Amino acid sequence: STHNYHNDEILKQIVKKKQQHLNYSSMAEHQTYCKRKTDQSESRERLTTISYFYSDPEIDKATDKPVTRLSPMSMMYMGVSDNNSHLLRSANYLRNELPIRLAHMIKELRNLPFIVACHPSILEIHERCIKTFRQFDQYDKEIKTLESEKGFNNLVFNMLEMNKDILALLCDGFKDTRRYISSEGYIKTHLNKILSTRLGLRLLCEHHLALNKQSNLNKILLSNDIFEKVEVKRANNDNFTSTYLSSNSGDNTNGNLSNVRDDEWVGIIHQKFSPKKLIDNSAKLVTRLCMEKYGVAPKIKIDGHINSQFPYLPMPLEYIMPELLKNSFRATTENHRNSSSLPDVCVTIAVNDRDFIFRIRDRGGGIPHALGDKIFDYHFSTANENKEKEVDDKMNSNFSLDCLNTSGFGMMCSASASQGLAVMHGYGFGLPTSKAYAEYLGGTLSFQSMQGIGSDFYLRLSLFDIEPEVVRI
């Protein structure tokens, strides 16, 4: 039969090959033969790898499409329905939008200078983006059932997972290569763009998964045979669901998925965001870190519109606020090493009809004249100069990457406070990343320094419901 014939052929070839090997006159000759073989296969492998990065018409097409940034108002409006149709709507928006945003990220990576783009950490990011982009291929048609939406959600979840340590990889990739690029502005533009694209991607994914989680919570409430109770209580007390769930989650009000409450949250948007609570939670975390590092920590004073509440996205702020407090705590502690008491760090909240502003004021000596705006450069840190970077020898280990993983995005700071944000300072990413995030959200981050006394940092962010809508995700 043909089958046997085929096997015979293969056998013959093997015998022939074996004989060839035996015929080599010397070991050296044999090794040259083997080396040529591996060289060939290596270069073939390299070619496939390289073409992986270059020839994908789908990516090229997606790069040309414009990004559709949603306003939080429309996210809230589209984030509810009686029959869960909003989940399908959200999934279909993501199905179109995520590949486009990934392609824009890929475009940005392609535009990096050769020396940076070649770095293994940057290649790793590049490769992951392409891989994730291709995983969207299977969802080229409208998602029509909640069943197929479940499968799609796995992809969204994986995307968040692969996104986790991007900040650490970027930090690593630029740290080694930036010395070959003379223009700081060039580095800043690229990193700002990559970091804010990533922020947008993360927020969209988290939002979609949170919407799912919230609709499941509704289901649990209903299936627990308390359907009637819910209905009755709702009629008497609009806050029933929120009190029911908050008794499970304690007073932890971070933007953590585990304590999403359906009345107060629409996806990742908190209807009753409280700036005061954000500061309280961030201060708790930073005080612990500061105590670990210095054995002391300044107190925090909060004043201004401490009772204000309005709809906002806590997630990015849960990154920015701890970063600003860490800097103020460090400056205060180091500037008052020899005194018996530390001056307070004072945060003032102001809310008006357009925006809300945090002023973080410390008596940490201020930003020296010679530094000025350099503090907003990526990788710039005075901790490096003083050789007191607490993570120096850990910089290349997984430990440091893990730290950045979790501090890399706000939401994690409450959930994994024990590992996350475990670093007081040293990477020089805190201020530039916070500024990039603030600007992505249509806000600003600036400072005034009273050299010799201390500094004021101003974080200004736009409210959602103003015209024209400034905030877009």
Binding part of the chain for ligand ADP, among 71-79, 154-162, 225-233, 429-437 by CB under 6 A, reads 429-437
Say if residue 141 is exposed, middle or buried (CB neighbours under 10 Å; 0-12, 13-18, 19+).
exposed
Query: In sequence order, which residues have a C-beta less than 8 Å from that of residue 203 and are 6 or more positions away?
Result: 268, 313, 315, 316, 473
Nearer to K ion, 343 or 426 (CB): 426
Say if residue 248 is exposed, middle or buried (CB neighbours under 10 Å; 0-12, 13-18, 19+).
exposed
Nearer to K ion, 273 or 437 (CB): 437
From 217, 463, 94, 235, select the one nearest 86 (Cα to Cα). 94
Cα distances (angstroms) measured from residue 64 to each of 58, 60, 61, 67, 101: 10, 7, 6, 9, 11
Contacts of Mg ion in 391-450 (CB under 5 A): 425, 430
Contacts of Mg ion in 327-366 (CB under 5 A): 327
Q: Using CB under 6 A, which of 108, 263, 362, 402 touches ligand ADP?
A: 362
Binding part of the chain for Mg ion, among 178-186, 195-203, 319-327, 394-402 by CB under 5 A, reads 319-327
379 Rama sector, left if φ>0, alpha if ψ -120 to 50, beta otherwise: left
Instruction: Provide, rounded to whole angstroms, the least separation between the CB of residue 318 and ligand ADP.
Output: 16
**Eight-class DSSP state of 461:** E
**Partner whose footprint covers residue 420, from ligand ADP, K ion, Mg ion, none (CB < 5 to 8 Å by kind):** none
Give the gyration radius of the chain's Cα atoms: 27
Q: How many residues does the chain have?
A: 473
Burial profile 10-49: b = 16 or more Cβ within 10 angstroms, e = fewer: eeeeeeeeeeeeeeeeeeeeeeeeeeeeeeeeeeeeeeee
Q: Find the helix packing angle between 166-177 and 398-407, rounded to 10°.
A: 120
Name the residue number minimizing CB distance to ligand ADP. Answer: 430
**Partner whose footprint covers residue 253, from ligand ADP, Mg ion, K ion, none (CB < 5 to 8 Å by kind):** none
Nearer to ligand ADP, 128 or 190 (CB): 190
Nearer to ligand ADP, 256 or 381 (CB): 381
Backbone angles phi, psi at 113, to 5 degrees: -60, 145
Contacts of ligand ADP in 382-421 (CB under 6 A): 382-383
Percent helix, strand, coil in the chain, to 5, is 60, 10, 30
Structure tokens at 49: 């790898």
Nearer to ligand ADP, 206 or 323 (CB): 323
Q: Find the helix packing angle between 314-335 and 275-294, rounded to 10°.
A: 40
**Residues in contact with Mg ion, total (CB under 5 A)?**
3
Structure tokens at 220: 């649990």
**Residues in contact with ligand ADP, total (CB under 6 A)?**
20
Structure tokens at 370: 């010679």
Nearer to ligand ADP, 1 or 386 (CB): 386
**Partner whose footprint covers residue 105, from ligand ADP, K ion, Mg ion, none (CB < 5 to 8 Å by kind):** none
Q: Using CB under 6 A, which of 103, 268, 331, 421 touches ligand ADP?
A: 331
Instruction: Provide, rounded to whole angstroms, the least separation between the CB of residue 307 and Mg ion.
Output: 29
**Partner whose footprint covers residue 328, from ligand ADP, Mg ion, K ion, none (CB < 5 to 8 Å by kind):** ligand ADP
Q: Using CB under 6 A, which of 267, 426, 463, 471 touches ligand ADP?
A: 426
Instruction: Provide, rounded to whole angstroms, the least separation between the CB of residue 443 and ligand ADP.
Output: 17
Instruction: Provide, rounded to whole angstroms, the least separation between the CB of residue 299 and ligand ADP.
Output: 16
Binding part of the chain for ligand ADP, among 116-124, 209-217, 234-242, 427-435 by CB under 6 A, reads 427-435
From 301, 303, 280, 281, select the one nearest 350 (Cα to Cα). 303
Residue 314 CA to residue 261 CA, distance in Å, equals: 14
Per-residue contact flags (x/-) with ligand ADP for residues 267 to 306, judged by CB under 6 A: ----------------------------------------
Nearer to Mg ion, 457 or 464 (CB): 457
Diameter of the chain measured on Cα atoms: 95
Residue 26 CA to residue 108 CA, distance in Å, equals: 52
Cα distances (angstroms) measured from residue 380 to each of 41, 184, 433, 456: 43, 11, 12, 19
Verify binding: residue 173, Mg ion, rule CB under 5 A.
no
Q: Using CB under 6 A, which of 431, 436, 459, 463 touches ligand ADP?
A: 431
Instruction: Provide, rounded to whole angstroms, the least separation between the CB of residue 116 and ligand ADP.
Output: 20
Instruction: Provide, rounded to whole angstroms, the least separation between the CB of residue 433 and Mg ion.
Output: 9
Instruction: Provide, rounded to whole angstroms, the least separation between the CB of residue 381 and Mg ion.
Output: 7
Nearer to Mg ion, 155 or 383 (CB): 383
Nearer to ligand ADP, 408 or 430 (CB): 430
Contacts of ligand ADP in 451-470 (CB under 6 A): 455
Three-state DSSP class for residue 345: strand
Binding part of the chain for ligand ADP, among 157-165, 223-231, 326-334, 412-420 by CB under 6 A, reads 326-334
Chain positions contacting ligand ADP, by CB under 6 A: 323, 327-328, 331, 362, 364, 367, 375, 380-383, 425-428, 430-432, 455
